[in-house]
Structure 1
Amino acid sequence: MPREQFDVIIAGGAAVGSACAYFLTAHPDFKGSVLVVEKDFSYRRCATSLSAASIRHQFSTPENIRMSQFGTEFLRHFGQRLAVDGVRPEAGFHEGGYLFLATAAGLDALNENHRTQRALGVDAALLNPEQLAARFPWMRTDGLAAGSLGLSGEGWLDAYGMMQGFRKKAISQGAHYRENEVVQVQRKGRRITGVGLDNGEALRCGVLINAAGTGGPQLGRLAGIDLPVEARKRCIFYFQCPNPVAPCPLVIDPSGAYFRPEGAGFIGGIAPADDPQCIDFEVQYELFEEVLWPLLAARVPAFEAIRCTHGWAGHYDMNTLDHNLIIGAHPDIENLLFANGFSGHGLQQAPAVGRALSELVLFNGFRTLDLTRMGWSRILDNTPIIEKNVV
C-alpha cells in the first residue's frame, strides 16, 4: 500500500505551527497539501496556552522588534483576516503597554534600546522618576532612574483564542490536522523523505517543519541535528489586590519581576535563580512567597496586601546560546525547516514566523522580513545575537 504524501508536514500545531499552516494555505502561489501533526488537541500543556500572553516592541534586536510589530498589526485585524463563514474569532488584544523600569546602573542600556526602538518606529516614551510618579501614583519610584513606556502596539491577549483562530482558518483553507506525534524521521542524504507517527503511520513529505516547541530538540535528533534548546519552567501567579492599582501596564521591574492586569486581578512572575532544564508542571509557590511577593510589594505598596489564589507552570523552549529564535534550514538538510528556541517570545512572534516559514517553503528565501540573522549560521559559528531586553 503506497504511503500517504503531503507537500508540507508541520510538527507542532500550537501558535507557530498553526500560523505557518494559515499563511501557507492562504498564499495564492501555494497549491500543495499541508498536514499539521499535533500530539494533544486539548493544548492544555503547550507553551501557547500556558504563557503570559503578551506582546511587546521594546526589544534591542531589530528583527525581534519587527516581528512583534507585524504581530501587532495582524492582531489589530485578527477577526477580519481569520473569519470563517462570517464568524470572526477574537484574540482579546488589549494595548495596555509595557513599562521597563531602570535603575542608574541600567539607564545607559535603556537609553540605547530606546534609540534603536524609536529608529524602527516603536511608539514608546522615556519617563523620569517624577513623570513615573505622576502617571502611576501607586508606584514607589525609589531607586529608579527612568522608565520606558510603550504608548501603543504593546499589551496582552487571549493566547488560546489567537491559536485557535489560526488553526480554524487554516483548516477552512484546506490544511489537515492529526492528533499524533512524529516519532520517526526518514532521511536520505541531505533530504527528509518522510516521517513516522506514534500510531504506526508512515507519511512521505516534501518539506518538514519543526515547530514542536520543547519537543523540538527530540525531533531534531531524529533527523541527526542537535538543537541548542532546553525546556525551562516558568511559573505564573494570579493574585488579587484589595486596593486599586490603575492604570497599569505590564511592568518589568529592574529585579526581573513582572506583573500586569488580568481580569479582576493581576498575573506576575520571575525567573528562578536556579533554572535547570525541567519538564514537570509543578507550581513553585515558594517562588511567589519568598521571592516575587517581596519584590512586588517593594515596588507597589498596595501589593503588600495581595492574595495569590492560584498559579500555573509552563515551559520556555530556551535557546541556550542567545535566547533568540532559530529559523530556517540547517545546512546539512535542505527540506527540514526549524522554528525553535523562542525563549518565551513564541506567541508574539508567531504571525511573523508563520509568514516567514511560508516564504521559505514557497520561495526558498525571506520576502517580507529578512530573518537571515536568526538562522543556523550564528549557532554553528557560536556568534550569539545579544538581546538586551530578555524577560
Structure 2
Amino acid sequence: MSSKVVIVGGGVIGSSIAYFLRLSDPSVSVTVIERDPTYARSSSALSAASIRQQFSTPLSVQMSLFGIEFLRSIGERLEIDGTKPSIDLHEGGYLFLATPAGHATLRENHALQKRLGADISLLDKDALQARFPWLNTEDLVAGAYGESGEGWFDGYGLVQALRKKAQALGARFIAADVTALRRDGKHVTQVQTADGEVYACDFVVNAAGAWSRKIAQMAGIDLPVFARRRSIFNVTSPARLEQCPLLIDPSGVYFRPEGNSFICGTSPSADNDPDDLPLDEVDHALFDDVIWPTLAHRVPQFEALRVQNCWSGYYEYNVLDQNAIIGYHPDVDNCIFANGFSGHGLQQGPATGRGVSELILHGGYTTLDLDSLSFARVLENRPIVEKNVV
C-alpha cells in the first residue's frame, strides 16, 4: 500500500520535497496544499534569489554545493516533454569584505569552504583593489570571493519549474488554506482546509515558510520561527562596475547587479525587527539612514543613486540560530518540519527536498546527513552558530 504524504506549503521547499518524493518513488501519493498559488507573498518569489557556499558551518556549505549542482542542471532535471526551464543562473560570485576585526573569521571560514570543495579565493587588500578598482578598500584588509558556484538566479522561475515538474511526476497541488491538523495520540491523521476538505495522511510535512509557526501550533508544537520583514531596493546609478559580484559589506549591507541596475538591502537592527510586519510597508528609513550611506562609502560612484523600485518579503526566521529546522519532533511521529531557513531557503531547497524525501522513504538520510538540523537542538537549546549571517 502506497504512503500518503501531505505537504503544507508549495514554495521552493514544499515543491522540492514533492519533486524528490515522486522522482524517487512514483507509488507515493503526494498532495501539496498551497494557500496562494500565485506566490504573490511567498518568500520564494520575493527574495533576492542567490546562492553561496560562503558559510561557516560544514553542513550549510555542503547543502549549497548540492544546490549549485542542482541549479546548473535544472534544464535536464526539470525538463517536461522536451521543454527545459531556465532560471537565468548567473555565477557572479559573492564577495565578503573584512576589516581588521573580521579578518581572522574570514580566514577560518575560507579554510573550511576550500576543504569542502568550494571555489573561493581569499584576496588581500591589494588584490581586492586590483580586481575591483571601483571599490573603496581604505578600511579593509581582505575579501573572500566566489570564483564559481555562487551568484543569483530567478527565484520565481525555480519555484515554478519545481512545481510543474512535481505535477508532471504525479504530485497533486491544491489551492487552499490549512485550518487544522487532526491528531490521534502522536500521529497526525488528517489535514483540514478552510473549504471543508479533509486529507488523510501517513506523513505530513510543514513547509509553510513564514506561516509555519501557525501550522506547527495546529499539531500542538511550539516552533521558534517567525515572519521577519526584509526590504529590497532596486536602484539605478551611472556607476559602471566591472565584474560586479554580490558584495557583502562588513556592516551587513549588500548589493548586486540586476540587469542595468542594482538591488540592495540589509537586515534591520535587532531592536527594530518585530514579527509579522506588513509587506506593503517598505522600510524606506533603512535605505536612507543605513544602506545608501554605506553604499556611497564602499563604492564612491554610488553617491548618485535613485530608487527605481522596492518591495518587502518575509524571512521565515528561526530565532534560535537562524538555521533551518529539518526533521521530526519527538511528540509527533509522522510530522516532518522543514522550516526556519532565515533567508537561505532557495539555495538550500534542493538539498532539503532530497533529504526529507529520504526521511519519508527510507527512514533516514542516505546522501547528505541533515540530522544536526533536527528539532532536538531546539528542545535542548543547542544553537548552531553561523558566523556568516546575511
**Which position in structure 1 is the counterpart of 2:185?**
189
**Which position in structure 1 is the counterpart of 2:146?**
150
**Which position in structure 1 is the counterpart of 2:166?**
170
Give the secondary structure class of the aligned counterpart of 2:257: strand
**Which position in structure 2 is the counterpart of 1:276?**
274
Aligned partner (choices 216, 219, 222) of residue 223 of structure 1: 219
**Which position in structure 1 is the counterpart of 2:372?**
373
**Percent of matched pairs sharing the same residue:** 52
Give the secondary structure class of the aligned counterpart of 1:350: helix
**Which position in structure 1 is the counterpart of 2:322?**
323
Could you tell me how far apart the structure 2 residues matched to 1:66 and 1:182 are? Answer: 33
Give the secondary structure class of the aligned counterpart of 1:225: coil
Aligned partner (choices 35, 39, 45) of residue 41 of structure 2: 45
**Which position in structure 1 is the counterpart of 2:108?**
112
Aligned residue-pair number = 386
Runs of 4+ in 1 over 2 A off after TM superposition: none
Give the secondary structure class of the aligned counterpart of 1:313: strand
**Which position in structure 2 is the counterpart of 1:92?**
88
- Give matches, 1:227-238, under 5 Å: 227-238=223-234
Q: Do 2:31 and 2:172's aligned partners in 1 also have CA atoms closer than 8 Å?
A: yes
Q: Flag structure 2 segments of 5+ consecutive residues without an equivalent.
A: none
Aligned partner (choices 9, 12, 16) of residue 12 of structure 1: 9
After superposition, give the CA deviation of every residue in 1:162-218 in whole Å (9 maximum; x if it has no partner).
111100000001000010011100101111101110111111111000000011100
- Give matches, 1:167-316, under 5 Å: 167-273=163-269, 274-281=272-279, 282-316=281-315
Tell me by how many angstroms 1:246 deviates: 1.7
Q: Do 2:186 and 2:333's aligned partners in 1 also have CA atoms closer than 8 Å?
A: yes
- Give matches, 1:58-73, under 5 Å: 58-73=54-69
Tell me by how many angstroms 1:290 deviates: 1.5
Q: Do 2:226 and 2:275's aligned partners in 1 also have CA atoms closer than 8 Å?
A: yes
Tell me by how many angstroms 1:300 deviates: 0.1
- Amino acid of the residue matched to residue 77 of structure 2? R
2:339 equivalent to 1:340: yes
Give the secondary structure class of the aligned counterpart of 1:335: strand
Q: Do 2:315 and 2:342's aligned partners in 1 also have CA atoms closer than 8 Å?
A: yes
Could you tell me how far apart the structure 2 residues matched to 1:242 and 1:143 are? Answer: 24
Give the secondary structure class of the aligned counterpart of 1:358: helix
- Amino acid of the residue matched to residue 371 of structure 2? T
Tell me by how many angstroms 1:91 deviates: 1.2
Q: Do 2:6 and 2:199's aligned partners in 1 also have CA atoms closer than 8 Å?
A: no
**Which position in structure 2 is the counterpart of 1:357?**
356
Could you tell me how far apart the structure 2 residues matched to 1:250 and 1:15 are? Answer: 22
Could you tell me how far apart the structure 1 residues matched to 2:239 and 2:90 are? Answer: 22
TM-score (norm 2): 0.98
Could you tell me how far apart the structure 1 residues matched to 2:277 and 2:203 are? Answer: 29
- Give matches, 1:15-34, under 5 Å: 15-27=12-24, 29-34=25-30
Tell me by how many angstroms 1:30 deviates: 4.5
Could you tell me how far apart the structure 2 residues matched to 1:30 and 1:309 are? Answer: 46
**Which position in structure 2 is the counterpart of 1:382?**
381
Could you tell me how far apart the structure 2 residues matched to 1:69 and 1:181 are? Answer: 34
After superposition, give the CA deviation of every residue in 1:285-341 in whole Å (9 maximum; x if it has no partner).
121112100000000000000111110000101100000000000011111000001
Could you tell me how far apart the structure 2 residues matched to 1:268 and 1:299 are? Answer: 13
- Amino acid of the residue matched to residue 18 of structure 1? S
Pair 335,366 (structure 1): closer, same or farther in 2 beyond 3 Å:
same
Q: Flag structure 1 segments of 5+ consecutive residues without an equivalent.
A: none
Q: Do 2:26 and 2:169's aligned partners in 1 also have CA atoms closer than 8 Å?
A: no
- Amino acid of the residue matched to residue 16 of structure 2? A
Tell me by how many angstroms 1:278 deviates: 2.4
Could you tell me how far apart the structure 2 residues matched to 1:279 and 1:170 are? Answer: 32
Give the secondary structure class of the aligned counterpart of 2:230: strand
Q: Do 2:26 and 2:170's aligned partners in 1 also have CA atoms closer than 8 Å?
A: no
**Which position in structure 1 is the counterpart of 2:126?**
130
Could you tell me how far apart the structure 1 residues matched to 2:340 and 2:26 are? Answer: 27
Aligned partner (choices 65, 72, 75) of residue 76 of structure 1: 72
